[in-house]
Structure 1
Amino acid sequence: MNGVTLDLEERAKVTSGFKSGCSGHCTSYGANCENGGKCLEKYHGYSCDCSHTAYDGTFCNKDVGAFFEEGMWLRYNFQAPGVSGKESGSRSDSPPDQQSTPPDLAHEGIHFSFSTSKAPCILLYVSSFTTDFLAVLIKPAGSLQIRYNLGGTREPYNIDVDHRNMANGQPHIVNITRHERTVILKLDHYPSVSYHLPSSSDTLFNSPKSLFLGRVIETGKIDQEIHKYNTPGFTGCLSRVQFNQIAPLKAALRQTNASAHVHIQGELVESNCGASPLTLSPMSSATDPWHLDHLDSASADFPYNPGQGQAIRNGVNRNSAIIGGVIAVVIFTILCTLVFLIRYMFRHKGTYHTNEAKGAESAESADAAIMNNDPNFTETIDESKKEWLI
């Protein structure tokens, strides 16, 4: 201040009410920045930097997706415009603002979500200035396949996921991570599975050139399987696409520094089609209620009853509950029927009270009965018997 450097921390130590070592907002709330978003400290709070993620929104949790029509494709060129292939070999797959950091060619991280009902098709393809390539495709039967060709091997290494149909119109999440020759695949909510490239395969993805979505429009020699499944192209939804630190679909839909690397054929329509996958993980034999029908009763794992401390066999408790419910319904029906019959039988019967004098049955006449019960009534009778002569 005014040319003098002030040691504010030392002044704070000797000033009452101040404490050193402020941790900031990101220490407490930085976990709110999801999907790899970076927490940025601000004076009045914090913000999430989503520029290196395939997500958008305040907390980097909003999917960025688009719908692809038949024949449409997107190409992301790793090299900057005007840079030759030789110059781009060592830094081509880095984001524009991180060109000084050399990429790790022995590692790839691929994450995206898709949904389609048409097969076969190419979901993602990464080409190179050499013979190396990486492809994720849907085969004619609807199964997922990952093809790796590193180091110019004669035949690509295939990872086939044949146990389910991926072209069922539901959204699916694909996460692929490679470190040297180890490839880890995580599909939807299923456990991760590890695969190992053959020893003849290289550990580096040399000179990556372009990334394609929808279709592969590449010059030069293309793998026969890729060429066969390349027509008519992908039709459906692609969302949260990310290759290492690059989000090509987000770069095409948002005005970012990487937008100059994107070329699109067709009309790219943004859509929120990248919802969470509807497919649930399979139930275990211990929790599947239908699993007992296919197992031997001697080796079946029966449900556990914590109240009795032992297994419930043959569904005794469940049957008892059903029988008890049936008995309760029958008793209730009988009671309702009895109430209805009683009301029906006595709807015309009833009791009533009269003002007849007591002792009327033993009296000689009705007048005598009245006089026995009401002494005042005697005078009335006597007066009625008097005769008056005029």
Structure 2
Amino acid sequence: ADVISFDGLGVISYRFRSKKIKIVKDLISLKFRTTAGAGVLLHGEGQQGDYISLELRRARLQLSLNLGSDQCGSIQGHTSVTSGSLLDDDHWHSVVIERYRRNVNFTLDHHTQQFRTNGEFDHLDLDHEISFGGHPVSAKPSSGGVDNFVGCMEGITYNGDNITNLVRRKKVDTSSFRNLTFSCAEANSFSVFFNSTSFLRLPGQTDSDTLSVSLSFRTWNPNGLLMFTALADGWVEVGLTEGKVTVYMNVTQKKNMRIDISSGSGLNDGQWHSVHLNALENYAMLTVDGDEASTVRTAIPIQIQTGGTYHFGGNVLHGNTRSLQRSFQGCMQMIHIDDHLADLRAVEQGLIGTFENVSLDMCAIIDRCVPNYCEHDGRCSQTWDTFSCNCSGTGYTGATCHTSMYQQSCEEYQHQGKSSGSFWIDPDGSGSIAPFRVHCDMTEGKVWTMLKNNLSPQTSVTSSEQEGKAVLQITYNVTDEQLLSVSSSAEYCEQYVGYACRMSRLLNTPDGAPYTWWVGRANERHSYWGGSGPGIQKCSCGIEHNCTDAKHYCNCDADLRSWREDSGLLVYKDHLPVSQVVVGDTSRAGSEAKLTVGPLKCQGDWSFWNAASFSSPASSLRFPSFRGETSTDISFYFKTSSTRGVFLENLGTTSFLHIELRGVCVCLFV
């Protein structure tokens, strides 16, 4: 069989033919099966900081890549993508990693994520080897932090090489394996799945002065009964309360003395957690997840006398005492009573214990947050029955963080009666572009959207930085995508540029190479200045024929020792905003220049101005039938003196959409 079993110690080391390789294209595939929530499936790294790693973390699969970071830290290449959930289910899962330069397809169980790695490098530089099942023995200590893989793999291929076949032929290093086997043994775990009406009853020792119970569980619910047992004189209950393991002990011999202890937090995260309760005559000890350092101990001045029957999962009525907890919904395994592992296969065969509405030898828990239906980075949380989205800090609201909290433009804020000020806008509504803050100027009869940049007015440019030129980067407090969303929806945009000079030429002649140029949208270089236009290597004075020297088309090109200035508005909005200015004539003795780049200002919202008037009952606009798949957004403003009317009607093949005004205060949606 094409299967290799990994015991947590063995690692397959596939060594390259050369000590170092530069890889521009990768194709890696494998299948894995495990009951462990953490472990390294593959790892490779290079001395220059490049690496590739595929790991299980909290039962999710994480692919980490770094094609290179520069020594100054300005280029960070680390990229990490996570896929899947509850992958420690002892089922086979398939993985395919396809990379060409920075473009990566990461496929888990036929679900593909496409992404580009961070940084600017294309090659993966690896040294010596790539390992499967853990970090190689030769790896640096900093590579650690995650356990080796425990489970089975099959179909391991790396860039055309069948790794499993090479292992069989002893062509790769497997010296770290204690016992290399080509089979996948059945897991020792035997799970029990509980719903809200389930219970499992198991026998234990009677009249013992020691109570010892341990188990592993996983659930999404913060509350639920794990175990209940009646003592000869009282009872003991172990449960989840707000994500913590709690133990309640009630002994009637001491006038209903009640003892409560708890440990852990956030244990309703869907991961496997272990709990061990040990109670003797003088003390009780509660350990969660095997962490002895956080074990809770408490004195109990009572005598334990076990009753011999243990209830798991369901509500229990014992005499006049009912469990305080609701029923447990989730999975349990590795149940120990009196330090003996319960034989759940014998329970399944009806030989010991009793049960009702449980599913044996399976864990049917599902993750309702994978895929994550919370949009715009909303945080998903879940219970057994449903999921919910926490939208705080996202700028969106609604059940799935879909609806923007902000208006789409400054025009809409003015329509609401707002005055000039700073506002958050969301030009694409519920789309992928995040909301951002702009200044809205509503004082001149027009509404201007303003985006400021990092350059102070009259910034001195007195020294050359590279190749005899000074390069000034112009940055804004928004992304390029957000900038484009403002300018593309505007009717008109402008940006002021000013160049004050003393013996510092600006554009040279219309036919010569310009000394200074600026870079705009799409990283295109432009050699016209404010007050002029594309294709004309002139300043505003050259257009208006009033330059200091009539032989030149910019005041600064006269190269005078006295201060002059060329300034004006750039108004070709498809070139805006200015992202860089390269100044090329400041290295001569006595040369000085001061640069000003004003904010990007845009006016007119095409989306908001896109209005239609319906002057008679027969007026209408007709479009092809709308197909919205599983979700869609419809929004509009209206103004009318009528009390009735149909706004929108859509006739689909199987669905119907109708919105109308019915009365002064009623909008009907069907």
TM-score by length of 2: 0.25
Higher relative contact order (CA 8 A, sep 6+): 1
Pick the structure with more strand per residue: 2
Over alpha carbons, which structure has the higher Rg?
Answer: 1
